[in-house]
Chains A and B, each alone.
Chain A
Amino acid sequence: MQKYSVFSLIKNALSNHKNWDLAWKDPTPKKEYDVVIIGGGGHGLATAYYLAKEHNITNVAIIEKGWIGGGNVGRNTTIIRSNYMHDDNALFSEFGMDLWRRMSQDLNYNVMFSPRGIINLAHSDAQMNTYARRGNSMRLNGIDAVLLNREEVKEIIPMADFSENVRFPIFGGLMQPSAGTARHDAVAWGYARQADDMGVDIIQNCEVIGFDVSAGKINGVRTSRGDIKAKKIGLCVAGSTNILAEKLNMTLPIETHLLQACVSEPVKPVLDKVVTFGAGHFYISQSDKGEMVMGGDLDGYNSYAQRGNLPTLQHVLTEGIAMMPFLSKLKMLRTWGGIMDMSMDGSPIIDKTHIEGLYLNCGWCYGGFKATPASGWTFAHTIAQDRVHELNSGYSLNRFNTGHLLDEKGLGTKTWIS
C-alpha cells in the first residue's frame, strides 16, 4: 500500500495524480470466511480493522447493502466526547478518546481530529449541581471536566444570549476540553483502506436476504450476491437492526427512529467549541468550511424514511436561536436525516446472542459516531475471543431482562421524557 505523506503527494503531483493506488479493492465474495461483518459503516469497518490488527483474523468480509460510509457515519454531526457519568459509559468512551487521538497516525489517513472542547450549558442552579456531580464522576474516571460559571462561559462563547430577560438564562456549563470533532467520512475511508490492505474483503452492493441457522448455530448468510459461509457473523447495521433481527426471529429492545441534522451557509469563524443547549436538545459546532453544524431531537415516531419532517427541525432550530440569536440571520444550506437504532435505555448493545456465532452491535442512539473506534475495538474482541471485553460488559443484551439498565440520561426512544 502506498503510504500517504507529503512525499507521495509531491511524487503523484508530478504525474498529474494519475497513478494513485485504489484506496480499497472491489472483490467478488468468496464462498467462505472466518468472520462476516454485516454493515460497512464506521462501526463495521472499524470492527474488521481491529479483527485484523489486534486479533490477526484477516479472512474477513464486510458486506454492505449500499456503499461504505453511506449511512450514519456520513450523516452525523461529527461530535466526539466522553462526558459520561456512569462508569460503563465513561470508561468505554474514554478508551475511545485515546484511539481518536492516535487515529490519523494509526490509519495513515488524516481524520482531522479537532479536540476543540465541548460545553454543555446549564440554565438553573439545579442543573449546575447535576453538572458538578457529572464532572466529578468524570474526573474520578480520569476524564477532563471543568465546571464553568456564567462569566467563564461568556468569555468562551460571547455570541450566546447572555441578556437578562431570556426564558433559559445561562447559569454556567460543564466543559470537556479534550472533546471535539473529526472528519466523519475520513474515519470510514481510513478504516476501510487499512482493513482492505490487511486482507479484509469489502463487498459493496451486497444485501443480506437471510441467515443460515441450524441447531442454534450460525452457519452463514444468504445475500443478493450468493450464499456466504461463516462460523462467526457480526451485525453492525444501526437503523436496519430490526429488519435483520426479524430474519433471525429475534425481537430486540430497539426501535428505529429518524434523527435530523442540518448545516447553515458557511460564515467566518465564530464558534470554536461544540456547544449544547441544556434546556432542550440542541447541539452546534462550526465546520472547517464555516458551516454551522446543528442537530437535536428525534422526529419522535418509528421511521425508516432517511429524511426528516419539518416540525422537529423547526423545534430544534427554535432552541438554537434561543441559545444563539445570530443563527436566525443564517440561511439553511442542507438538512438531512438518518435512521437510528434507539435502545430503550439510551445505551448501546455490544454482545453475544443466543445464537452461537452471532454477535450484535446496535443501539447507538444519538452517539454512534464518537463510539466508532471503541465500538470496533470491543466488538472485534467480542467476536475474536467469543466473550465480551470488560469495556463492553455493561452493554449486554440481557440487561433489560435483569434490570441492569444503563440510563445515562434516561433517554431512549421516548423523546418526550426530556
Chain B
Amino acid sequence: MRSQNEFSYGGDASIKRPELGKDVSDKDWDNFVYNRKSLRGKHWELWQHVSGCRQWIKVERDTSTHEIFNTLKANEEISL
C-alpha cells in the first residue's frame, strides 16, 4: 500500500494515438487530443509513481468510489 501523494495522474488510458505514417483526419486528432468519455464508474487510466520508481502504470478505478479493480504495466493491453 502506497500513499496517493506518491502518484501523479496521466488521464484516460484507453485513448490511442493515431498510427504514424497513415492519413489521419482532423476528427481523429480531435478525438485523440481533446475528446473524452470521462464516465462515472470503472475507468482505465494512467498513473505515474512519480515520487517512487517513476514507472507508468494503468489502473482500473471507479471514478465515484475510488475503488481500484485492476492494474497493468504501461505496455500491457487493456482487455475489455
Contacts and interface: CB of A to CB of B under 8 A. Distances in A.
A7 interface: no
A301 B45 contact: yes
Interface string A254-289: 111000000000000000000000000000000000
A253 B9 contact: no
Contact of B4 (A255, A311, A400): A311
Interface residues of A, number: 23
B67 to A, nearest CB: 11
Interface-central residue, B9, B26, B39, B64, by most chain A CB under 10 Å: B9
A28 interface: no
Interface string A289-310: 0000000000011111100010
Interface in B30-80: 30-31, 33-40, 43, 45, 63-66
Contacts of B65: 305
Contacts of A246: 37, 39
What is the interface of chain B mostly: helix, strand, loop, or mixed?
mixed
A214 interface: no
Given A303-B63, A305-B64, A416-B8, A401 B26 contact: yes
Given A303-B64, A305-B64, A305-B65, A254 B40 contact: no
Nearest to B64: A304
A243 interface: yes
What is the interface of chain A mostly: helix, strand, loop, or mixed?
mixed
Given A303-B64, A304-B64, A309-B4, A255 B26 contact: no
Nearest to B66: A305
A243 B39 contact: yes
B26 A254 contact: no
Interface of A: 242-243, 246, 251-256, 300-305, 309, 311, 344, 400-401, 413-414, 416
19 contacts: A251-B31, A253-B35, A255-B36, A301-B45, A302-B12, A302-B45, A303-B63, A303-B66, A304-B63, A304-B64, A305-B63, A309-B4, A311-B5, A344-B34, A400-B30, A400-B33, A400-B35, A413-B11, A414-B11
* 7 shortest interchain CB distances as A-B pairs: A253-B34, A301-B9, A304-B64, A242-B38, A255-B38, A400-B34, A304-B40
